[in-house]
Chains A and B, each alone.
Chain A
Amino acid sequence: MRAALFVTCVNDALYPRTGIAVVRLLERLGVEVDFPAGQSCCGQPQYNTGYRHEAEPLVRRTAAAFDGYPYVVTPSGSCAAMIREHYPRIGRKAAAEGRGAELAEAAASLAPRVYELTEFLVDVLGVTDVGAYFPHTVTYHPSCHGLRGLGLGDRPRRLLAAVGGLELVELPGAEECCGFGGTFAVKNPAVSAAMGADKIASATATGAAVLCGADNSCLAHLDGILRRRGAPLRALHLAEILAATEEEAPL
């Protein structure tokens, strides 16, 4: 099977390790991974901040970059939700405003082909045990767009629970937003930081060594607070845990 990786702009520039982990993981599971370099950003920061017109060229670019791929996999619930939920909406609005139907068609065609990593693993590849080994205590924060936007349910936790050596502990108040929210983090810094601090407090109270998530933007916010406070917990993307094996140097 062949799948295209949509690495996302955040992972590309700031968290390449996540992208590398996805490639290693998928290849280990027998998937041929393609990386169309015409991709960049899904346009979520623009769209969510109200700049829908600025997002349109990025919608066009993303749709074109993945044109023809039956499976597009991304290690970000929020970017997957952006494409699945909002691309068709942006396309329809552009058409209604007289900017042609071609964007609407491209957006509608891409939307159903995009999979968040855990969906791709569980639903398409049909695996929950990916042969990973990670001998640490882990707690999982389900980011809002994955949880409510995509309805990922317990897929990420099932994948984690099957990892060798890993002890999964439940995060109290897991479903509560971490306070990142894209530009919310800088537009409402006081509330954002307070929400992040509460999330860190519940994660720390679990006694876990690793705070795992499936969205590096939320993790950047949480990790930023963790490091500022010198908390004894590290934030790690789910893909990196699933890619880790006993043979490779442990993370």
Chain B
Amino acid sequence: MPAFPEAAKDAVGDEVLRANLRHATHTIRDKRARAVAELADWELLRAAGKAVKDQTLRHLDRYLLQLEESVTAAGGVVHWAADAEEANRIVTGLVRATGEREVVKVKSMATQEIGLNEALEAAGIAAYETDLAELIVQLGRDRPSHILVPAIHRNRAEIRDIFEAEMGSWGRAAPAGLGDDPRELAEAARLHLREKFLRAKVAVSGANFMVAETGTMVVFESEGNGRMCLTLPDTLISVVGIEKVVPTFRDLEIFLQTLPRSSTAERMNPYTTMWTGTTDGDGPSAFHLVLLDNGRTDTLADEVGRQALRCIRCSACLNVCPVYERAGGHAYGSVYPGPIGAILSPQLRGTGSEIDASLPYASTLCGACYEVCPVAIDIPEVLVHLRERVVQGGPVTREGIRVRIRPARGHAAERAAMRAARHLLDHPCALRAGERLLARARRLRPRRLPGPGRAWTDSRELPELPAEPFRDWWARERGGRGSLGDTEGRGDRGDTGDRGDVGDRGDRRDRGGRT
């Protein structure tokens, strides 16, 4: 996977992709804003969601043990997976034990994160995605590019073509003469999927929430396909990240309001399915919960970065992010794209790879993501924190062990430039001399800069250089007041004068050098 800037460059040049993304994100962001504005207590709900998540994360060990107890008491079996490999091994083993060779899946980011479909395929088990957008991605041999709408990068015509070309080789073929009307497309998917639901004996799911006190698993969805997966098969295997736990059933009240409005701009999501262990004669007769860590406890150990674990995967931050809108989800090199991906992936996977070291820079820090986040994750704060980790290194927790990482490679020139700039800026005499030199050289101003500066001049003109810097104008025009001329400034001298009498002090100080 190339670093973000290169991957994004391709997307920026793809007119169709940009139009698809622009249309989809703008539509949903406007709707979301309206849905959120309907609630007078939105800010309180946001604060409550943040508080519940923080309190749960603080005592995560306790709540997970409580969850295990509740799930077990309700007839489920809990498995603990430290990483992707272990989780895949557990799930593959569970499917094998049923003797089945295929499973239906309801959208689960956790299983995408660990590459479960590929692991199952390697074990000779076919996994069928049943979420409409996931189905499009799977049929198109594509990768998801959005948390909630994994096929957001596709338009209707492209989807029609995929259905027509691929459905037949996976199961029931697309109806003849399929058009690109949303209704027709949905009907084609329904027929194709119904056949799978009715045949499948094993289902794999994720969950939006797990309730510690009752052992209840919760899925919010819009299509009802998830409910088919969760109720029809004999065996249900749910793979869920450990951060999804909430302490009590009552806590769901908050998220039942904030999640649908933030994600699909609905007041209430059409389907909320809850399942607690197993019940005789109703639903799956075997239920397995695979609790996935895969970098989460390491993330939890970071005081600034841990807030990323509050995320309820609503995708509101993607839909308002101007960088996501232009770069597309694939550029983020992970199942978690957009602003949340930019802070989550480098924490779950570490900042060792090129793509992970570049993700914290995939943002202008404009703050739109923070503003919409229903659990108030300060994404810009975490981005800057992770940038620091990339260029300065420092202490991190990896596989439970506190280690000190070195700065990522490839920042030597930048670091030298930052140091040089800092030196110049911390010495006003040198700064002033530099500014004067610049002013004198203004006629030599090149149209194209060499080195990293090219990134600016390739698409933008440089500013016109002024004849004199501000501080020279000040010295000339208002020199009698407030200017220090060529001295190094108060800070260097450790001046301790009368704080209340700024003006006098300024005058005394300034005239000292001049009169």
Residues of A within 8 A of B (CB): 2, 4, 7, 9, 11-17, 19-20, 23, 32-41, 43, 45-55, 57-58, 60-61, 63-65, 67-70, 144-145, 148-149, 175-177, 179-196, 220-221, 223-225, 227-228
The 4 A-B pairs at the shortest CB distance, nearest first, are namely A38-B489, A64-B491, A181-B364, A224-B460
A36, A144, A221: the one contacting B482 at CB < 8 Å is A36
What B residues does A69 contact at CB under 8 A? 502
Bound form: Cα–Cα A43–B419 in Å: 11
- Specify the chain B residue showing the minimal Cβ separation from A38: B489
Bound form: Cα–Cα A57–B502 in Å: 23
Give the Cβ gap from B283 to chain A, nearest Cβ, in Å: 46
Evaluate contact between B456 and A185: CB separation under 8 angstroms. Answer: yes
Q: How would you classify the secondary structure of chain A's contact residues: helix, strand, loop or mixed?
A: helix
Bound form: Cα–Cα A7–B472 in Å: 13
Give the Cβ gap from A235 to chain B, nearest Cβ, in Å: 10
B418, B474, B506: the one contacting A46 at CB < 8 Å is B418
- Specify the chain B residue showing the minimal Cβ separation from A71: B502
For chains A and B in complex, what number of residue pairs have CB atoms within 8 angstroms? Answer: 241
Q: List 22 A-B contacts (CB under 8 A).
A: A4-B502, A9-B431, A11-B470, A13-B469, A14-B466, A19-B473, A37-B489, A49-B414, A50-B388, A61-B426, A61-B489, A63-B491, A65-B491, A70-B502, A149-B367, A175-B368, A191-B327, A192-B364, A194-B326, A221-B460, A223-B463, A225-B459
How many chain B residues touch A (Cβ–Cβ < 8 Å)? Answer: 80
Bound form: Cα–Cα A196–B414 in Å: 24
- Specify the chain A residue showing the minimal Cβ separation from B475: A37
Evaluate contact between A195 and B326: CB separation under 8 angstroms. Answer: yes
Evaluate contact between B428 and A2: CB separation under 8 angstroms. Answer: no
With most chain A CB atoms within 10 A of its CB, the pick from B428, B460, B471 is B460
CB of B425 within 8 A of chain A? yes
What A residues does B463 contact at CB under 8 A? 14-15, 220, 223-224
> Mask for B75-105, Cβ within 8 A of A = 1, else 0?
0000000000000000000000000000000
- Specify the chain A residue showing the minimal Cβ separation from B509: A36
Give the Cβ gap from A231 to chain B, nearest Cβ, in Å: 11
Q: Please give 17 more A-B residue pairs, beta carbons under 8 A apart, in addition to A68-B499, A194-B12.
A: A13-B466, A16-B470, A19-B474, A38-B489, A38-B490, A40-B431, A41-B421, A47-B384, A50-B386, A55-B422, A67-B490, A144-B366, A148-B367, A179-B364, A181-B363, A185-B456, A224-B461
- For window 117-138 of B, CB contacts with A under 8 Å fall at none
Bound form: Cα–Cα A80–B300 in Å: 32
A16, A37, A39, A144: the one contacting B473 at CB < 8 Å is A16
CB of B181 within 8 A of chain A? no
Evaluate contact between A50 and B390: CB separation under 8 angstroms. Answer: yes
Evaluate contact between B8 and A191: CB separation under 8 angstroms. Answer: yes
Give the Cβ gap from B26 to chain A, nearest Cβ, in Å: 9
B322, B422, B481: the one contacting A34 at CB < 8 Å is B481
Bound form: Cα–Cα A124–B240 in Å: 53
What A residues does B492 contact at CB under 8 A? 38, 64
Evaluate contact between B502 and A144: CB separation under 8 angstroms. Answer: no
Give the Cβ gap from B323 to chain A, nearest Cβ, in Å: 6
CB of B438 within 8 A of chain A? yes
- For window 434-489 of B, CB contacts with A under 8 Å fall at 435, 438, 452-453, 455-456, 458-463, 465-466, 468-471, 473-474, 478, 481-485, 487-489
